[in-house]
């Protein structure tokens, strides 16, 4: 049996889903769209196991956003296997009138239903009395009172699911057909589906419907064109009819004592969205989040790195020396550690985001920032993902799912990678330490620190400018609404947050991990092998020399130059020459494509630094002493270093970001555009920088 | 008078809507003719605003509030 959870946003539907399915859930996608499809299994007392589908939160069956279109198609499709056998309609008991609108629409589809009144604890606090028995007899379906946060009523809900629900009583149906009788009849004849409400909906929505054939679509389009209805008026009439019915029902079954004292939530809102303090508190929260990301993640990240190091050494000891061991340790394992090392930062970031979302604060951030963001072509809901981009673009792009408007979401996804992520930090630190003197300006401001901050600012400004440009280019038929519920502040539900974290981490490790491991293996192969004649020549030459560690390092360095990666570096050298880069930097640019922080490691290998690759000072000394063979000038002078930093600030050199953009936009063209525009921007900006400083 | 002109803290009753497409969405969100509304918050930059309607808090942009006639 398939059971669908349907309801308004903020009704506690996800909490209910978690309570019913526990960890026994998986997130997929609805066919052809980016919206998450959460499904899970739930064991009933009878021993029967049912499939639970969590449909996106919607306010009505009129599809205006991608979310709503999904719900409409899943629920109206009478033929395919996706249509549920039972709908559990979840409503917020403190806000019955608005919530029941969706209920009456879904009721008209003729699917057996169970009505779940959630948030009964809050309703009791507000002294809302509901005559459940009377309501049940009027509607003719089982009604369950729930408090999903505390798990109250879950057993009763499972019993109601086992009873398979019932179809809503005929008295509670709306005669939608009377609003447009001729068209409704015609559409019923075309589709062969006797349901009046589906026929009525098709008058306006045949274009989006996935459950009718192309010929049926054409026939409906013809019928509608012959007798064009005023669709907005029809929908308004329908909605008002429904509210009449709801008002009648609520008048007889719900009593609320009107208390006029200010609620806690309202008082909190006055502070948290205050002109001055609201903004200040928001900035303070941001500060705490970033401090936590960098401070709390340090030890787990070191621990993960150490574990991989130990495991790698162990494998090298146990496995027979040779290609397999090298590929496994330097290719696969190195790639994996590259992914997993960021997991602590991602978990911390997502924990904060989940808490802020769960308490209801995130809606306030959106509320406060909307005007500011709108002036640059974004949306209030872009703020949080953009800020998250300073830690890592991958979770930041995943966090854009809260933006309903597709165009706004797309622009946000496209500009997030311009925010300076934590992987650029090692690159900046290394290059700044090479060319910027460690002095204090005016006695207080560290010059190196100021340059670093300027790099972060540069990324932010670039993101804003890029969104201004993209706003002009990307076209959208979707009309954007802001209308957003500000939910009542509540304590976070820790188990819910735990489940969210497990699910997000799992997705991150698998999805990004697959790509990173693949690229690492390819890079390893390219950097290890080369044209055989050149490689063999080096091997024979060094075999004749004494086996000192210095010689071994020189051999490695020469082999890298002769390897396919080296050949690649040589090949792109003419292109990057105008930016002030030589072929060695070229290799680093290529290997950085797996992840930017690889730059430091690659530089370390190229300049054959002994031992610890993370030892910045020794890489720095080598790079500082590196001289151009022809001119004998330092390789890393001010123009080259700044040009390189600007290149890293703008260039799209992150496989995992491209992979996640593809996953979220579901079309290869968006990551392709991202790659091209960012790289072009980087090239031009570097060219300008190099020539400015030259 | 439209909802966008209502000062902070003031109450009024919804009369009708001037934008057909938006009106369906507003009805869905519980903004019904005859329903009480109160402006409860204004965002730090002056737009959007938050109103209390049908027993909950709804935020909307001034341009959207401008399509709601009140009395």
Q: How many CB pairs under 8 A join A and B?
A: 108
Q: Is the pLDDT of residue A168 over 80?
A: yes
SS (H, E, C) A476-539: CCCCCCCCEECCCCCCCCHHHHHHHHHHHHHHHHHHHHHHHHHHHHHHHHHHHCCCHHHHHHHH
Contacts of A239 in chain B (CB under 8 A): 24, 27-28
* Contact at CB, B45 and A372, closer than 8 angstroms: yes
Q: Is the pLDDT of residue A609 over 50?
A: no
Residue whose pair of structure tokens reads 């506690």 in the numeric block = A12
| Helix, strand, coil tally for chain A in percent (to 5) | 65, 10, 25
Chain A touched by B32 (CB under 8 Å): yes
Strands A254-256 and A128-130 turn out to be: antiparallel
Q: Is the pLDDT of residue A516 over 80?
A: no
A190 versus A620: which is more confidently predicted?
A190
Contacts of B41 in chain A (CB under 8 A): 269-270, 273, 367
Q: What is the pLDDT of residue A660?
A: 84
* Contact at CB, A232 and B47, closer than 8 angstroms: no
Structure token pair of residue A147: 């408090």
Mean pLDDT is highest, among A271-275, A373-377, A544-548, for: A271-275
Q: Is the pLDDT of residue A550 over 60?
A: yes
B46 versus A635: which is more confidently predicted?
B46
Beta-carbon-side half-sphere exposure of residue A670 (alpha carbons within 13 Å): 25
What mean pLDDT is predicted for residues A305-320? Answer: 83
What mean pLDDT is predicted for residues B39-65? Answer: 92
A38 touches A17 (CB < 8 A): yes
Chain A residues with at least one Cβ partner in B under 8 Å: 59-60, 62, 64, 94-95, 97-98, 101, 232-233, 235-236, 239-240, 243, 265-266, 269-270, 273-276, 278-279, 363, 367-368, 370-372, 380, 479, 481-488
At residue B14, the 3 state secondary structure works out as strand
Structure token pair of residue A300: 């787990």
Q: Which residues pair with A52 in a beta bridge?
A: A3, A40
Confidence band (pLDDT; 50, 70, 90) for A79? low
Distance from CA of A485 to the nearest CA of B (A): 5
What mean pLDDT is predicted for residues A157-167? Answer: 90
- Which among A361, A365, A315, A367 has a CA at the least distance from the CA of A336? A315
Q: How far is CA A2 from the centre of its chain?
A: 28
Indicate the length of chain A as a whole number. 694
Q: Long-range contacts: A205-209, Cβ < 8 Å, 24+?
A: A205/A62, A205/A63, A205/A72, A208/A63, A208/A69, A208/A72, A208/A73, A209/A72, A209/A73, A209/A76
**Backbone conformation region of residue A12, classed left if phi is above 0, alpha if psi is from -120 to 50, else beta:** left
Of the candidates B27, B57, B58, which has its C-beta nearest A236's C-beta?
B27
Q: What is the pLDDT of residue A610?
A: 38
Structure token pair of residue A659: 């992979």
* Contact at CB, A485 and B58, closer than 8 angstroms: yes
Q: CA angle at residue A158 from A156 to A160, to 5 degrees?
A: 70
Nearest CA in chain B to A64: B25
- pLDDT tens readout for residues A439-467: 887 777 788 888 888 888 899 899 999 99
Contacts of A276 in chain B (CB under 8 A): 44
* Contact at CB, A486 and B47, closer than 8 angstroms: no
Q: What is the pLDDT of residue A607?
A: 65
B2 touches B60 (CB < 8 A): no
Q: Is the pLDDT of residue A677 over 90?
A: yes
Q: Round to whole Å and give the CA distance between A95 and A514.
A: 45
A118 versus A517: which is more confidently predicted?
A118
Largest CA distance in chain B: 30
* DSSP code for A88: E
Using DSSP, how many helices (H) and how many strands (E) does chain B show?
Answer: 2, 5
* Contact at CB, A486 and B61, closer than 8 angstroms: no
- Which among A473, A664, A372, A339 has a CA at the least distance from the CA of B46? A372
pTM, entire model? 0.78
Strands B49-53 and B11-17 turn out to be: unpaired
Distances from the Cα of A680 to the Cαs of A201, A498, A675, in angstroms?
47, 41, 8
ipTM value: 0.95
Contacts of B46 in chain A (CB under 8 A): 371
Structure token pair of residue A470: 């993209």
* Contact at CB, B59 and A269, closer than 8 angstroms: no
Q: Round to whole Å and give the CA distance between A119 and A31.
A: 32
* DSSP code for A401: G
């Amino acid at each position: 049996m398939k059971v669908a959870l349907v309801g308004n946003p903020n009704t506690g539907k996800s909490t209910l889903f978690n309570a019913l399915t526990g960890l026994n859930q998986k997130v997929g996608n609805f066919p052809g769209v980016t919206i998450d499809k959460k499904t899970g299994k739930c064991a009933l007392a009878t021993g029967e196991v049912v499939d639970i589908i969590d449909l996106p939160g919607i306010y009505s069956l009129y599809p205006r956003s991608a979310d709503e279109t999904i719900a409409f198609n899943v629920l109206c499709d009478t033929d395919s296997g996706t249509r549920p056998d039972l709908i559990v309609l979840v409503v917020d008991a403190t806000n019955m009138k608005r919530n029941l609108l969706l209920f009456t629409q879904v009721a008209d589809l003729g699917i057996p239903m169970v009505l779940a009144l959630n948030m009964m604890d809050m309703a009791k606090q507000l002294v809302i009395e509901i005559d459940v028995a009377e309501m049940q007899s009027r509607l003719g379906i089982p009604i369950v009172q729930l408090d999903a946060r505390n798990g109250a009523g879950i057993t009763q809900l499972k019993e109601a699911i086992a009873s398979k629900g019932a179809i809503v009583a005929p008295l509670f149906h709306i005669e939608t057909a009377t609003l447009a009788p001729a068209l409704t009849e015609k559409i019923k004849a075309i589709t062969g589906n006797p349901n009046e409400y589906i026929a009525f909906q098709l008058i306006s929505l045949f274009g989006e419907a996935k459950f009718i054939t192309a010929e049926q679509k054409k026939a409906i389009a013809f019928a509608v064109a012959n007798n064009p209805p005023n669709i907005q008026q029809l929908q308004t009439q329908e909605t008002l009819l429904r509210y009449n019915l709801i008002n009648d029902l609520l008048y007889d079954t719900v009593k609320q004592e009107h208390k006029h004292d200010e609620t806690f939530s309202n008082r909190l809102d006055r502070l948290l969205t205050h002109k001055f303090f609201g903004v200040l508190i928001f900035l303070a929260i941001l500060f705490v989040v970033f401090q936590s990301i960098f401070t709390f993640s340090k030890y787990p990240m070191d621990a993960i790195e150490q574990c991989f190091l130990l495991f790698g050494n162990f494998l090298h000891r146990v496995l027979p020396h040779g290609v397999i061991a090298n590929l496994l340790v330097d290719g696969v394992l190195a790639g994996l550690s590259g992914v997993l090392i960021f997991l602590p930062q991602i978990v911390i970031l997502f924990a904060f985001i989940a808490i802020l979302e769960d308490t209801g604060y995130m809606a306030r951030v959106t509320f406060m920032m909307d005007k500011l963001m709108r002036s640059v072509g974004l949306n209030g809901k872009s703020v949080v993902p953009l800020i998250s981009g300073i830690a890592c673009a991958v979770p930041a792009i995943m966090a854009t799912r809260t933006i309903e408007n597709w165009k706004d979401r797309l622009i946000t996804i496209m500009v997030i990678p311009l925010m300076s992520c934590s992987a650029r930090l090692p690159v900046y630190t290394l290059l700044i330490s090479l060319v910027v003197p460690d002095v204090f300006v005016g006695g207080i401001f560290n010059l190196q620190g100021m340059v670093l901050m300027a790099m972060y600012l540069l990324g932010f400004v670039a993101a804003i400018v890029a969104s201004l440009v993209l706003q002009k280019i990307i076209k959208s038929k979707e009309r954007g609404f802001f209308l957003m519920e500000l939910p009542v502040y509540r304590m976070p539900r820790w188990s819910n947050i735990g489940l969210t974290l497990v699910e997000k981490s799992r997705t991150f490790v698998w999805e990004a991990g697959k790509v990173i491991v693949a690229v690492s293996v390819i890079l390893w192969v390219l950097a290890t092998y080369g044209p055989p004649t050149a490689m063999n020549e080096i091997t024979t030459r060094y075999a004749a020399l004494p086996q000192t560690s210095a010689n071994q390092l020189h051999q490695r360095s020469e082999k890298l130059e002769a390897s396919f990666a080296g050949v690649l570096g040589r090949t792109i050298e003419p292109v990057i020459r105008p930016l002030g880069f030589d072929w060695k930097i070229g290799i680093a640019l290529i290997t950085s494509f797996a992840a930017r922080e690889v730059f430091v490691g690659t530089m370390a290998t190229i300049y054959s630094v002994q031992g610890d690759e993370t030892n910045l000072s020794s890489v720095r000394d080598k790079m500082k002493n590196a001289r151009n063979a022809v001119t004998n000038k330092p390789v890393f002078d001010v123009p080259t270093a700044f040009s390189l930093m600007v290149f890293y600030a703008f260039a799209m050199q992150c496989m995992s970001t491209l992979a996640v953009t593809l996953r979220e936009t579901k079309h290869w063209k968006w990551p392709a555009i991202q790659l091209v525009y960012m790289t072009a921007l980087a090239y031009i900006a570097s060219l300008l920088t190099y020539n400015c400083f030259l | 008078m439209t909802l966008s002109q209502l000062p902070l803290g003031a109450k009024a009753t919804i009369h009708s809507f001037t934008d057909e497409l938006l009106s369906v969405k507003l009805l869905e969100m519980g903004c019904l003719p005859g329903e009480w509304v109160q402006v409860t918050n204004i965002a730090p930059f002056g737009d959007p605003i938050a109103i209390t309607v049908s027993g909950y808090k709804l935020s909307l942009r001034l341009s959207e509030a401008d399509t709601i006639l009140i009395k």
